[in-house]
């Protein structure tokens, strides 16, 4: 199987919306340069053709075994998730992401810092998902101290 070209070498739709777009028939990604579509198409078609069609209305992604009710849904999933192309650019920095959720989460964490909370135990600021780790470390150290006494 061929690897896709790096994201930096591909010009995706969205960067220059006024240009003619070339659309992949397998995963619906759009490209400005036909050569980028051709490079992508080689990888995408090889992978999609090897995916299993198990039962009627049951399409399984060969890469992660996720089930889909339509062949098109499976193709789109494969192209967006497993081809590794990050087509949505953060408007505040140059980072790219695979979907709108990821870019929104990045913006909240990095640029707005709205997901940060201050730990009441140590006073440090963390993203919400990491605050419990700090509390757990603090709790573990207190338990170990009390056991060793």
105 pLDDT higher than 80: yes
Across 43-57, 102-116, 123-137, the highest mean pLDDT is recorded for 102-116
Q: Is the dihedral of CA 10, 11, 13, 14 positive or negative?
A: positive
**Percentage with pLDDT > 70 across the chain:** 52
Nearest-angstrom CA–CA distance, 90 and 108: 11
Q: What digits encode the pLDDT tens for the residues 29-71? A: 777 777 777 777 666 655 555 544 444 557 788 888 888 888 8
Average pLDDT of span 109-132: 70
Q: pLDDT tens across 1-36, in order?
A: 334 444 444 444 454 455 667 777 766 677 777 777
Predicted TM-score (pTM) of the model is 0.34
The DSSP secondary structure of the chain, one letter per residue, reads -PPPPPGGG--BTTSSTTS--EE-TTT--EESSHHHHHHHHHHHHHHHHTSEEEETTEEE-TTT--EESSHHHHHHHIIIIIS----EEPSSSS-EESSHHHHHHHIIIIIS-TTEEE-TTT--EEEHHHHHHHHHHHHHHHHHHHHH-
Q: What domains are there in the chain, each with its CATH number?
A: 7-83 (3.30.160), 115-148 (no CATH)
Residue 54's pLDDT is: 42
52-84 exposure pattern, b = at least 16 Cβ within 10 A, e = fewer: eeeeeeebbbeeeeeebeeeeebbbbbbbbbbe
Q: Of 86, 73, 25, 79, nearest to 47 (Cα)?
A: 79
Model confidence pLDDT, tens digit, residues 68-99: 888 888 887 887 777 766 778 899 998 888 77
């Amino acid at each position: 199987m061929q690897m896709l070209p790096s994201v930096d070498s591909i010009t995706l739709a969205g960067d220059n919306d006024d240009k003619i777009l070339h659309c992949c028939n397998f995963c619906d990604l759009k490209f400005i340069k036909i050569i980028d579509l051709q490079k992508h198409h080689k990888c995408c078609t090889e992978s999609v053709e090897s995916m299993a069609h198990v039962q009627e209305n049951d399409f399984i992604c060969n890469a992660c075994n996720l089930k889909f009710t339509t062949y098109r849904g499976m193709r789109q999933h494969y192209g967006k998730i497993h081809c590794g192309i990050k087509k949505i650019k953060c408007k505040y920095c140059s980072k790219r992401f695979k979907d709108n959720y990821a870019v929104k989460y990045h913006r909240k964490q990095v640029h707005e810092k709205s997901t940060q909370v201050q730990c009441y135990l140590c006073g440090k600021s963390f993203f919400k998902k990491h605050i419990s780790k700090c509390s757990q470390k603090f709790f573990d150290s207190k338990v170990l101290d009390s056991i060793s006494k």
